[in-house]
Amino acid sequence: MRALVNIYYSEAVMFDEFFAPKSVSIVGVSLEKEKLGNQILRNLLKANFKGSIFPVNKKATISTHLNGLKVYPALTEIPEKVDLCIIVVPARFVGSVIEDCGEKKINAAALITAGFKETGEEGAKLEDELVKKAKKLGVRILGPNILGIINTYENLNASFAPTYPPAGNIAFISQSGALGCTLLDQCRQEGVGLSKFVSLGNKADIDEIDLLCYLKDDIHTRVIMGYLESIQRGRDFINVAGEVVKEKPVIMIKSGRSRAGRRAASSHTGALSGADETYDVAFKETGIIRAKTVTEAFEMLRGFSSERFPRGKKVLLVTNAGGAGILATDACEDYSIELASLTEDTKNRLREKLPSASSISNPLDILGDAEPERFEFTLKTISPDPNVDVILLIVTPQTTTKPKEIATVVQKLFKNEEKTVLTCFMGGEMIKSAIPILHAAKIPNYRDPDAAIKVLRYMIEYTTKYRKEEEKIRLFPVEKSKAKNILIKEKNKGYLEIGGGKALQIMKIYGIPTVENYLAKTIDEAVQIAKRIARPVVMKIESPAIIHKSDIGGVKVGVKNRQVPDAFRQILENSRKTLQGKNEIDGISIQPVVKEGKEILIGAVADETFGHLIRFGLGGRYVELFRDFATRLVPLSVNKVDEMIQETKIASKLLQGFRNEPACDVEIIRNCLLRLSQLVQDIPWIREIEANPLVVWEKGGVVIDARIKIGKED
């Protein structure tokens, strides 16, 4: 796993050839200005690239020149070494250019050309062939169908993007060229500085995971921003992203949220799989910050790129307007942000100099007529207060307010300090001149307290949660092969959905407590079993062909001893009606009625991209009505399990003991979830598994019913 993240030396060198080439060739440079190749050439020149540039045009003669550069008829004709080859020729000619790359020992090819997988089957075939060829020749491909590459620290603009962004500490990966253009343009306008920009296109070879690995160690990059539409290698993504996030924050827009519904799987737990919810879980687990909108992404970038990470959670609001203070307080509650309480010492010092009408509290209101000196005094006084981790300064432009001078005060006080300071200079025309001063001092400014506090919330979460070592995963000794064999046997008989006694048996093998469960093949056997149990029993049809037993009258609850024969006959009759002649009845399973408890659901479902997701929540008949779930990816750890339990709205409170009820045995749930996680990792071809209900009492608990789905092709 480590190897994935700490990329091999040779890979790092290859990526350097993409991002910091000493020489670039553009193959397919047209003499017409409007054409892409020509635009890329001009972009390279305009950005003032320091290395050599070799345009290639197959029609070039010995004397062809473009923008003062000699144009070569082929890559192979270039007399010098080429680090990066930008390919712009039509799709059908790309193959031979790749061959030339191989011949010239070029490792890095950025394939601008479109007309591959995105156009349909034929294009996909062409793309596959290309990748195979490139692999054989040792050429790595970025693209095809990309906007290009930018590295502001190397003056490299190997793209046809119309805007070149300012230099900064953010690396931006985009799966869409058009949105790449758009966001670059917005970066320019908002003064958001980038270290690198890279367009992913069809991701035929290099993908976001490779880039995350590379950017993890890139010294110019302090924040990684991504626009993604899909992720293929889900598990690798999680492992890599988890490691990268420990080094630097990663902010992602993942679009296509609304397609979620389409992939809803057949069974009801299946709703998890492939859905957008899975991306949410994956991002949450790795600590990737998911921005819902472009606006939100820029808000996050502003905050995270400041590198002013909060050392704690307590925020002081300072303002010159009561109303703005109220708005900010509202936002603090919305985002669960803790308000700092100033020490008595700080309060006394503030009282000495601030006007008596000021509110020495939080929000700290220094009044509408506050001049820059009053802001300076206040900020200086509160900054060293040990109770204040973060300062949010809210300035409204009132009659005598001097926003520019106040911004200068902020710059002076905090430019070289690590203190987490955010500002919210509200309004428009009057505060315009203040903003560049703030940004120059790496103080993120927001127009609205709500945005500032939202970002703060993410920053606090990032520093407190994701920058620490991971937990060990607990493993239990179990008879794995025994469980596996039961499933294989069923599969060989053609049954892909396994319920009742067999599913309970699998759980039991993995140490998950299950209800006593006996199979009766005859009425006599049933009577014997019921007598032994010596309590009212539950009787259920046991047939691999009947999954939703109660719907067909295949279940009887609270059957007394003397009622057993009748119940047996009735269940058989109902089941036979359903089976219509097929002889697939194993018998009738008999369980004692268990005492009332809280009904919980635990389950897992395989996601194509990310592996198994474990679900925990309120169980019982109405599980889909309440939808009170928490979800995590395998492997589970104790911390993850506790987070899951906390995350549910209803189940967590129910287990704690609602009103006068006693608390439930949470340890048994923790244990069941960890064991379930191990089970689906041991037998990864389990598509779905669900225990519902797991009845939990003050002490102990048991699974009453379970279902397992396995894949046909596994």
Cα torsion for 499, 501, 502, 505, to the nearest 10°? 130
Which 603-632 residues touch a second copy, going by CB under 8 A? 621-622, 624-626
- Nearest CB to a second copy, comparing residues 51 and 372: 372
Residues of span 81-120 touching a second copy by CB under 8 A: 119
Closest by CA position to 601, among listed 584, 625, 580: 625
Which of the stretches 293-301, 491-499, 502-510, 555-563 binds a second copy when contact is defined by CB under 8 A? 293-301
Contacts of residue 314, defined as CB under 8 A and 6 or more positions apart, other chains included, come to 338, 339, 340, 341, 387, 388, 389, 390
Distance of CA 250 to the CA centre of its chain: 9
Which whole-number Å values give the CA distances from 535 to 56, 316, 529, 530, in the listed order? 87, 63, 10, 7
- Return the number of the residue (383 or 578) whose C-beta is nearest a second copy: 578
In the bound state with a second copy, the residue whose beta carbon lies nearer, of 308 and 598, is 598
- Give the interface segment with a second copy, choosing from 95-103, 325-333, 470-478, 525-533 (CB under 8 A): 325-333
Residues 534, 659, 712, 713: which binds a second copy (CB under 8 A)? 659
Minimum distance of a second copy from residue 150's CB (angstroms): 14
358-387: which residues touch a second copy (CB under 8 A)? 368
The Cα–Cα gap between 490 and 169 comes to 56
Question: What are the residues whose beta carbons fall under 8 Å from the beta carbon of 517, sequence distance 6 or more?
Answer: 500, 501, 504, 589, 590, 591
Asked if 187 interacts with a second copy (CB under 8 A), we say yes
d(C-alpha 111, C-alpha 120), whole Å: 18
Q: Which is nearer to a second copy, 96 or 163 (CB)?
A: 163
Cα R_g (the chain), whole angstroms: 32
Q: Contact region for a second copy (CB under 8 A) — 330-338, 460-468, 486-494, 681-689?
A: 330-338
- By C-beta, is 258 or 416 nearer to a second copy? 258
Among 91, 161, 206, 530, binds a second copy (CB under 8 A): 161
Lay out the site mask for a second copy across 514-553 (x = CB under 8 A, - = otherwise): -------------------------------------x--
Q: Which of 121, 219, 660, 713 binds a second copy (CB under 8 A)?
A: 660
282 in Cβ contact with 258 (< 8 Å):
no
Distance set, CA 547 to CA 332, 544, 551, 585 (Å): 49, 7, 9, 12
Return the residue of 99, 229, 405, 586 that touches a second copy, per CB under 8 A: 229
Judged by CB under 8 A, the chain residues 432 through 451 that form the site for a second copy are 432, 447-451
**Minimum gap (Å) between residue 485 Cβ and a second copy:** 34
Among the residue ranges 200-208, 320-328, 501-509, 664-672, the one whose residues contact a second copy (CB under 8 A): 320-328
Closest CA to 72 of 80, 333, 639, 512: 80
Residue 578 engages a second copy in binding (rule: CB under 8 A): no
CB nearer to a second copy: give 160 or 414: 160
430 is an interface residue for a second copy by CB under 8 A = yes
Interface with a second copy includes 292 (CB under 8 A)? yes
Binding residue (CB under 8 A) for a second copy from 96, 186, 341, 637: 186
Structure tokens at 269: 């737990």
State the nearest-atom distance from the C-beta of 94 to a second copy, in Å: 19
Binding segment toward a second copy, per CB under 8 A, in 138-146, 149-157, 426-434, 581-589: 426-434
Using CB under 8 A, count the residues that bind a second copy: 78
Residue from 19, 160, 279, 375 in contact with a second copy (CB under 8 A): 160
Give the 3-state secondary structure of 314-340: EEEEEECCHHHHHHHHHHHHHCCCEEC
Nearest distance in Å: CB 502, a second copy? 24
Show contacts with a second copy in window 32-61 (CB under 8 A): 34, 36, 39
- Tell the smallest beta-carbon distance from residue 657 to a second copy (Å): 11
Q: Which stretch binds a second copy (CB under 8 A): 234-242, 424-432, 560-568, 586-594?
A: 424-432
Burial class from Cβ neighbours inside 10 Å (0-12, 13-18, 19+) for residue 1 reads exposed
Q: Which two tokens stand for residue 673?
A: 């979830």
User: Which of 98, 184 has the CB closer to a second copy?
Assistant: 184
Q: How far apart are CA 14 and CA 26, in angstroms?
A: 18
Give the nearest distance from C-beta 401 to a second copy in angstroms. 8
Cα distance between residue 75 and residue 49, in whole Å: 20
Buried b (16+ CB within 10 A) or exposed e, 247-266: bbbbbbbbbeeeebeeeebe
Q: How far apart are CA 210 and CA 212, in angstroms?
A: 6
Q: How far is the CB of 86 from a second copy (least distance, A)?
A: 15
Q: How many Å apart are CA 375 and CA 378, to the nearest integer?
A: 5
Q: Binding to a second copy by residue 416, rule CB under 8 A?
A: no
Closest to 598 measured CA to CA, from 559, 551, 636, 645: 645
Distance CA 92, CA 439 (A): 48
Comparison of 300 and 413: residue with beta carbon closer to a second copy: 300
The answer to whether 598 and 579 are in contact (CB under 8 A) is no
166 contributes a contact to a second copy by CB under 8 A: no
- What part of residues 116-135 is at the interface with a second copy (CB under 8 A)? 119
**Residue 326 lies near a second copy (rule: CB under 8 A):** yes
Q: Which residue has the tokens 């407190």?
A: 464
Asked if 341 interacts with a second copy (CB under 8 A), we say no
28-36 long-range Cβ contacts below 8 angstroms, 24+ apart = 28/56, 28/57, 28/87, 28/88, 28/89, 28/90, 28/93, 28/97, 28/113, 29/55, 29/56, 29/57, 29/66, 29/71, 29/88, 30/57, 31/57, 31/66, 35/88, 36/88, 36/112, 36/160
Q: Which is nearer to a second copy, 181 or 342 (CB)?
A: 181
Using the rule CB under 8 A, which residue among 322, 372, 511, 513 binds a second copy?
322
List the one residue from 95, 102, 372, 427 that touches a second copy (CB under 8 A): 427
- The torsion angles phi and psi of 662, rounded to 5 degrees, stand at -75, 155
What does the DSSP 8-state code read for residue 28? S
CB nearer a second copy, residue 369 or residue 524: 369
List the one residue from 496, 533, 545, 650 that touches a second copy (CB under 8 A).
650
Regarding 389 and contact with a second copy (CB under 8 A), the answer is no
Distance in Å, CB of 338 to a second copy, minimum: 13
Residue span binding a second copy (CB under 8 A) among the ranges 131-139, 306-314, 406-414, 428-436: 428-436
Closest by CA to 500, choosing from 544, 439, 441, 460, is: 544
**Stretch near a second copy under the rule CB under 8 A, chosen from 7-15, 329-337, 539-547, 692-700:** 329-337
Residue with smaller CB distance to a second copy, 287 or 325: 325
Is 49:152 a contact under the CB 8 Å cutoff? no
For 554-579, b/e burial (b = at least 16 CB within 10 A) is: bbbeebeeebbeebbeebbebbeebb
DSSP, collapsed to helix, strand or coil, labels residue 612 as strand
